[in-house]
Amino acid sequence: MSTVSQLNQAESLPFYEPQGHEIELFMHAYKHKLPVLIKGPTGCGKTRFISYMAEKLGLPLYTVACHDDLSAPDLVGRHLIGDGETVWSDGPLTRAVRTGGICYLDEVVEARKDTTVVIHPLTDDRRILPIDRTGETLQAPDNFMLVVSYNPGYQNLLKGMKPSTRQRFVSMSFDYLPAAAEVEVLLNETAVDKAMAEQLVILGNGLRQLKDQDLEEGASTRLLVYTATLISTGFDPVQACRAGMIEPLSDDPDTIAGLMELVQAAFGRAD
């Protein structure tokens, strides 16, 4: 077991395999009240890293999965009607600012543009959240931290992050782990044996080589974990790879058939 694995267990933290100096950087950013931007492909460990750091710092975590319809009121809050009266209800960003903690906006570029206006005052030296509908201006406490993430591979002219917004954050880039570290993740996250973990990582890296050729996105570490979980519970390895790795990567029957040939070759089978 690696030193990192032993440290995670000793501290009762979620398992996390570092990619570089991201833990140290995050700690410094939190200490000096700096917002953080994390860039990286789907399923490479961004969300697990934030969960790990929230536990390590002893902070509540408010996670928002951003999407096309997410608007500023979804983050800040809105008035609701109940029991014959109108009551203000804080959104997750406001709750985090009021009480402290990490507010994590996952895939922030997917949200509507008005959300950017809301977070800007929290990403400079003011660290404030104006709430127009209640007339409040909240000052973020020392233990508040704003973290956002997105996948640069999905960026386009309509859903890119503006340079003026990117420059409001301390930023770090994530990628898929080296093979040995990814094997360590599978061993800690599932009951799969080492030989199978190594085989799945080799297959996953092979599929990643097809990104931008036959696939829009490579096989994520998350998908490798799903596949390893199925195998470790007695499911057929080839079928586990199909359900856990291949089908999520494409809807095209010909592409799926071609990828399954790679799986069958990896397991020495032709079924």
Secondary structure (DSSP) of 121-167: GGSSTT-EEEETTTTEEEEPPTTEEEEEEE-GGG--TTTPPPHHHHT
Q: Indicate the Cα dihedral angle 177, 180, 181, 182, nearest 10°.
A: 60
What pLDDT, on the 0 to 100 scale, is given for residue 157? Answer: 44
Average pLDDT over residues 116-125: 95
- For helices 194-208 and 253-266, the axis angle rounded to 10 degrees is 140
The confidence score (pLDDT) of residue 215 equals 85
Confidence of residue 25 (pLDDT cuts 50, 70, 90): very high
CB 38 within 8 A of CB 172: yes
Q: What is the pLDDT of residue 212?
A: 74
Q: Name the band, by pLDDT with cuts 50, 70 and 90, for residue 7.
A: very low
- The predicted pLDDT at position 26 comes to 98
Task: Please report how the helices 46-57 and 22-31 are oriented relative to each other, as an axis angle in degrees rounded to 10.
Answer: 50
Least confident of 2-11, 70-79, 108-117, 232-241: 2-11
**Structure pTM?**
0.88
Is pLDDT of 133 > 70? yes
The pLDDT of residue 251 is 95
Three-state secondary structure string covering 229-259: HHHHCCCCHHHHHHHHHHHHHCCCHHHHHHH
pLDDT value, residue 30: 98
pLDDT digits (tens, 9 = 90+) for 98-107: 999 999 999 9
Interatomic CA distance for residues 160 and 96, integer angstroms: 26
Which residues on neighbouring strands pair with residue 79, listed in sequence order?
Answer: 88
Q: 43 and 222 in contact (C-beta within 8 Å)?
A: yes
Can you list the positions of beta strands (E) in 31-72? 36-39, 61-65
Query: Could you tell me the CA-to-CA distances from 2 to 5, 18, 145, 180 in Å, in that order?
Result: 5, 11, 30, 11
The pLDDT value recorded for residue 270 is: 57
Q: Looking at the predicted structure, is the pLDDT value of residue 89 above 70? A: yes
**Mean of the per-residue pLDDT values of the chain:** 91
More confident residue, 68 or 2: 68
pLDDT of residue 14: 85
Mean pLDDT on 82-101:
93
Contact 61, 51 (CB under 8 A): yes
pLDDT digits (tens, 9 = 90+) for 136-158: 999 999 999 999 999 987 655 45
Per-residue pLDDT reduced to its tens digit, 185-228: 999 999 999 999 999 999 999 999 988 777 888 899 999 999 99
Within 10 angstroms of residue 130's Cβ, the number of other Cβ atoms is 15
At 5 the pLDDT is: 42
Check residue 32 and report its DSSP letter: T
pLDDT at 9 over 70: no
